[in-house]
Amino acid sequence: MPAENVILVGFMGAGKSVCGRLLARRLGRCFVETDDMIVARDGRAIADIFAQDGEETFRRLEAEAVEALRLKSGDVIATGGGLPCREGRMAALRQLGTVVWLRGDLDELLERARRAGGRPMLAGRTPEEIAALHRAREPHYRGAHVTIDTGGLGVDQVVARILAALRERHAARV
Tell me which residues touch ligand S3P (CB under 6 A).
Answer: 12, 16, 35, 46, 80-82, 119-121
Q: How far is the CB of 17 from ligand S3P (least distance, A)?
A: 6
Residue type, 1: M
Pick the closer one to ligand S3P by CB: 28 or 88. 88
Residue 80 beta carbon to ligand S3P: minimum distance, rounded to whole angstroms: 2
Give min distance, CB of 110 to ligand S3P, in A: 11
Nearest to 146 by CA among 88, 67, 93: 93
Between 26 and 119, CB nearer to ligand S3P: 119
**Measured from the CB of residue 173, what is the shortest distance to ligand S3P in angstroms?**
29
Residue nearer to ligand S3P on the CB measure, 74 or 120:
120
CB nearer ligand S3P, residue 10 or residue 97: 10
